[in-house]
């Protein structure tokens, strides 16, 4: 199946630092699913990260403007990410499960 996961944060390498719970769950779930399925992750972009890459068989895309890690606030930045993720997901699809 073709699966899409959208997460505000995601590591930039298989040995990258995981900074939070949602990021960890998305990382471990996507790695497990990628063993049997075509998995794509859309996540936010930070300047030190590539815009797209493949990590352990997971296609990772980082659309939109620079989005710094934050535990709270940043509503405008989060809304811009959500819109960019939606647009990219529509272009990359269709997906069997989002």
| Percent of the chain whose predicted confidence (pLDDT) is above 70 | 95
- Asked if residues 97 and 4 have their Cβ atoms less than 8 Å apart, the reply is yes
d(CA 55, CA 66): 21
pTM value is 0.90
Residues 5-42 have pLDDT tens digits of 999 989 888 777 787 888 899 999 999 999 999 999 99
**The predicted structure's pLDDT at residue 89:** 97
d(CA 93, CA 49): 23
């Amino acid at each position: 199946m073709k699966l899409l996961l959208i997460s505000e944060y995601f590591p930039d390498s298989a040995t990258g630092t995981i900074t939070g719970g949602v990021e960890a769950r998305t990382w471990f779930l996507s790695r497990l699913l990628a063993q049997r399925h075509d998995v794509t992750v859309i996540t936010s972009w930070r300047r030190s990260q590539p815009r797209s890459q493949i990590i352990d068989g997971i296609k990772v895309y980082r659309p939109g403007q620079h989005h710094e890690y934050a535990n709270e606030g940043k509503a405008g930045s989060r809304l811009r990410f959500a819109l960019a993720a939606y647009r990219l997901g529509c272009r990359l699809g269709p997906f069997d499960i989002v």
